[in-house]
């Protein structure tokens, strides 16, 4: 994470999230991203990943893409537990929940990326 511009990284992942979720579930992408952001802001990082895991058949492909990009963002920024995990719920439960500074940073990074993703999803294509 040394010397990394975190806002720029959030912007890059925001675009990736919007693009991949849109490819997976089409016009429902903006709605899913907005709901995911609300869960994150109201209930935290663990609830955010749980929300992605709980999506029904129609939203599941987009939720999986969102989860994967969120996991990669946290991995790239060196957040505890995300170094080499494929299970973000276990990473939060077993590692991140015990470190308040890392937990708050993870939440802030995900919020910023999802805010950017929501704007990308709203923007006209092109």
Q: Helix/strand/coil (H, E, C) string of the chain?
A: CCCCCHHHHHHHHHHHHHHHHHHHHHHHHHHHHHHHHHHHHHHCHHHHHHHHHCCCCCCHHHHHHHHHHHHHHHHHCCCCCCCCCCCHHHHHHHCHHHCHHHHHHHHHHHHHHHHHHHHHHHCCCC
Tell me if 1 is assigned to some domain.
Answer: no
For residues 40 and 114, the answer to whether their CB atoms sit within 8 Å is yes
Tell me if 56 is assigned to some domain.
Answer: yes
Tens digit of pLDDT for each residue in 59-75?
Answer: 999 999 999 999 999 99
d(CA 21, CA 40) in angstroms, rounded, equals 17
Q: What domain count does the chain have? A: 1
Q: What is the span of the domain harbouring residue 113?
A: 6-122
CA 64 to chain centre: 10
The tokens describing 14, both together, are 């925001």
CATH number of the domain to which 102 belongs: 1.10.520.30
The pTM for the full model equals: 0.93
Tens digit of pLDDT for each residue in 9-23?
Answer: 999 999 999 999 999
Tens digit of pLDDT for each residue in 96-117?
Answer: 999 999 999 999 999 999 999 9
The mean of the pLDDT values for the chain is: 94
């Amino acid at each position: 994470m040394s010397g990394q511009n975190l806002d720029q990284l959030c912007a890059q992942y925001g675009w990736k999230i919007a693009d991949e979720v849109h490819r997976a579930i089409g016009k429902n992408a903006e709605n899913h991203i907005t709901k995911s952001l609300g869960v994150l802001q109201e209930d935290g990082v663990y609830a955010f990943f749980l929300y992605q895991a709980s999506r029904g058949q129609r939203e599941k492909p987009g939720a999986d893409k969102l989860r994967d990009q969120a996991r990669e963002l946290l991995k790239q920024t060196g957040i505890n537990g995300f170094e080499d995990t494929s299970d973000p719920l276990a990473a939060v439960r077993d590692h991140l929940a015990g470190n308040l500074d890392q937990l708050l940073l993870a939440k802030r990074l995900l919020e910023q990326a999802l805010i950017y993703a929501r704007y990308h999803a709203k923007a006209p294509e092109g």
